[in-house]
Structure 1
Amino acid sequence: MTDRAPAALAAGMRRPGQGRGMVDVLNHGYLLKLLVRKELRVRYQASFLGLAWSYVKPGVQFVVFYFVMGNFLELARTIPPFAVYLFSGIVVINLYSEILGNATRAVIQNGALVNKIYLPRQLFPASSVLVALVHFVPQLIVLMVGAGVVGWRPGPWEVAAALLGSAIVLTLALGLGLIFGAINVAYRDVENIVDLILMVAVWFSPVLYPLDRVRVVFGADSLIMTIYEANPLTIAVELFHRAFWWPVTTPELQTSALVDDVMVRGVLALGFSVVLLVIGDLVFKRLSRNFAQEL
C-alpha cells in the first residue's frame, strides 16, 4: 500500500486534506452554489419580505443619514445632489460590511460540515461574497435609477470606475475575511473586533461627508490625510462617487483634485487588495489544518 502512494501522487493525485487555497474554490462550483443557496434559505426562512430586505435595509439607512446629515448639517445644500452622493457610499459600505462580517463567521457557522466531511474550507468565506452580491445588485439598480433621474448618463470612464471600485471592495473584504475568519475559529473575540471595525468604517470613509472637509481639518499634506486617502475603502467610495455622482454635479465640483487621480489610485488600491487576498489565502490555508480540532 505504501509503495502505491508515491506512484499515485506522482500521477497527479494529492493527499486528502491538502488543498490549493482559493484555486480549489474554482473547481467546486457546484458545492459553492449549494452553500449560497443554504445561506439564503436559512437567512430568509419564515421571512415575509425575503430578498426584499435588500431594498428595505439600505433604504432605511439612507433615509436616516439623509435626514441627519442632509438637513441638520445642511450637506444637501453644499453637495448637490446629496442623495446620489450619499447612496453611492452606502452601497459600497454595505457590500464591504456584509462580506467581511459573514466571512469572519463563515467557518464557525458551518462547523458541522467541517467536522463531518472534507471540502475546501475557502468555500465558506467565498460563499459570503456571492451572498453579498445577491444583496448588492438590487441596491446598485436603485442607485442607477436614482442617478438616472437627476441626469446621470454613464460613459466608459463611469463604468470603469464602478467596476474598479467593486473589484477593490470584493478583494479587500475577502482577503480580510479569510484572515479574520481563520483566526476566529481559535479566538472568538475576533468577531467582536470585526463588528467594531464595521461600525466605524462608515465614518472613516467619505460616505456621509465630503473628502474636502477632511483635508481642511487635518491638512492636505498631513500624515493623517495621507493614511486616510491611502485606505482602499476610501478610494472605492470615491470611485463610486466618480461613477455615479460626479457626472451630475456642478462644474465647480467637477474640478476636484481627487477626480483627476482617483482612477490611478484605484488601480494601486486594487493591487494592494489582491496582495492582501493572497496573504489571506495563505494564512487561512495554514490555520485550516486545525479547524476540525478547534470546532
Structure 2
Amino acid sequence: MTRIIEIPVNTMPASVLPKRAETPVIDIVPHKKWRVLDFNELWAYRELLAFLCWRDVKVRYKQTVLGGAWAILQPLMTMIVFSIFFAKLANLSSGRIPYPLFAFAGLLPWTFFANAISAAGQSVVGSERLISKVYFPRLIIPLASVGAGLVDFAVACGMLGVLMFAYGVFPSTSLVLAPVIVLGLTVAAAGVGSLLAALNVAYRDFRYVIPFLMQLWMFATPTIYMDSTSLASGVWSWILPLNPAFGLIANFRAVVLGGTLDTYSLAVSLAVSAAMFAVGTLYFSRVERGFADII
C-alpha cells in the first residue's frame, strides 16, 4: 500500500523546488515630447505594417468591377485628356518623345505621390477604432497607406512599359537610378503624409486642405510639361528643385525615357525629401500619444 505524504512548499529546500521561467519585465514609461524615430520599434512591428498595407489594397478595390485596373486607368485617362488639350489644341512640345508617353511618364510617379499623401493624411482619422484599443507605433498607419500606393505604382509601371514598346522608346543605362528616385518620392510622401495625418487629427479642416494642396502642387511640378532642364534657368534652376516632386519626377522621366539626367535637381530634391520625412515623423511622434483622446 502506497502512502502519500504532503510536505508544505515553504518547508522544502530550494534545490527541490521546480524552477520557474523568468518573466521578462517591461517598463512602460512616457517618452520624451520630442524624440527621434525609433526604427527598431518599427522593425519589430513589420508584420503589422505589411498586413495593413495589404488591407488597404484590398479595401480600395473591394466590390469593384475592374479591381486593380484602376491603378492603370487613373494616370492613363488623365494622359489622354492632357494629350488632347495640350498636344493637339495647344501644340505643347515634348521634344523627341511622343507627348502621350511623355505625359504618362510624368503622371505615373505623380499619381503615386499625390494618392499616397492623400491616403496617409486621412489614415489616422480613419483608423480611430484601432488606435483607441490596441497599442502599436501609430506611425505604421500612414506608412501603410504609402506602401499600398507603391503596389498601385508597380502595377501601373507595366502600362508604361507597354507604351514605351509601342512608341519604340527604350531607356538608357541610367535606368538603374529609378529605384533611388522612387525611394525619394516614397520618403517625401511618408513625411508629408505623416505631418498631415497628425494635423488632421487636431484640425479636421485639413481634410479639405489636402485635395486643394495636391491640385496646386501638381502644377508646380513638371508632370505634363517640359522637364527641369528646359524650364529652370537662372535663379529658378536653384529654387525649383526645393520642391521634391519637381526634381524627382523630372529625373524619373529622364531615366525611364532615356533623357538627360539633372544631377543637381535630383540631389537637392532627395535632400529635401529626407528633411520632410524627418520633420513629418518628428511632429507625428510628438503628438501621437494624444490621438486616442482626441480622435
TM-score, normalization: structure 2? 0.82
State the SS of the aligned residue for 2:258: helix
Residues 1:75 and 2:92 aligned together? yes
CA contact under 8 A between 1:44 and 1:51: conserved in structure 2?
A: yes
| 1:276 match | 276
Residues 1:221 and 2:245 aligned together? no
State the SS of the aligned residue for 1:74: coil
How far apart are the structure 1 equivalents of 2:27 and 2:107? 44
State the identity %.
23
CA positional deviation for 1:279: 2.0
Deviations 1:140-183 (A, max 9, x none): 121122123333333431221x2232122111111111111111
CA contact under 8 A between 1:101 and 1:195: conserved in structure 2?
A: yes
CA positional deviation for 1:80: 3.1
Q: In the alignment, residue 181 of structure 1 is paired with which amino acid? A: A
- Structure 1 window deviating more from structure 2 (187-196 vs 147-156): it is 147-156
Q: In the alignment, residue 136 of structure 1 is paired with which amino acid? A: F
| 2:189 match | 173
Deviations 1:91-130 (A, max 9, x none): 1110111110011011000000011111110110110111
Counterparts in 2 of 1:210 and 1:114: CA distance versus 1, 3 Å: same
Residues 1:111 and 2:128 aligned together? yes
- Structure 1 window deviating more from structure 2 (18-27 vs 268-277): it is 18-27
| 2:171 match | 154
Aligned pairs (5 A) from 1:1-295:
13-15=26-28, 21=37, 23=39, 24-75=41-92, 78=95, 80-160=97-177, 162-211=178-227, 214-215=231-232, 220-222=233-235, 226-247=238-259, 259=260, 262-295=262-295
Deviations 1:179-203 (A, max 9, x none): 1111110001122222111112221
CA positional deviation for 1:17: 6.9
Counterparts in 2 of 1:79 and 1:146: CA distance versus 1, 3 Å: same
How far apart are the structure 2 equivalents of 1:200 and 1:183? 19
Q: In the alignment, residue 201 of structure 1 is paired with which amino acid? A: W
| 1:6 match | none
CA positional deviation for 1:77: 6.9
RMSD over aligned Cα atoms? 2.4
CA positional deviation for 1:268: 3.0
- Structure 1 window deviating more from structure 2 (35-44 vs 181-190): it is 35-44
How far apart are the structure 2 equivalents of 1:177 and 1:97? 10
Instruction: Please tell me whether Structure 1 or Structure 2 has the larger radius of gyration of its CA atoms.
Output: 2
CA positional deviation for 1:204: 1.0
Counterparts in 2 of 1:214 and 1:282: CA distance versus 1, 3 Å: same
Counterparts in 2 of 1:16 and 1:107: CA distance versus 1, 3 Å: farther
Q: In the alignment, residue 246 of structure 2 is paired with which amino acid? A: T
Deviations 1:34-61 (A, max 9, x none): 2123222322222111111112222211
How far apart are the structure 1 equivalents of 2:244 and 2:191? 12
How far apart are the structure 2 equivalents of 1:44 and 1:170? 22
Counterparts in 2 of 1:91 and 1:181: CA distance versus 1, 3 Å: same
Counterparts in 2 of 1:22 and 1:194: CA distance versus 1, 3 Å: farther
| 1:251 match | none
Structure holding more helix per residue: 1
How far apart are the structure 2 equivalents of 1:77 and 1:155? 18
CA contact under 8 A between 2:243 and 2:272: conserved in structure 1?
A: no
- The number of residues matched between the two structures is 268
CA positional deviation for 1:214: 4.0
How far apart are the structure 1 equivalents of 2:166 and 2:29? 56
How far apart are the structure 2 equivalents of 1:53 and 1:104? 21
Q: In the alignment, residue 243 of structure 1 is paired with which amino acid? A: V
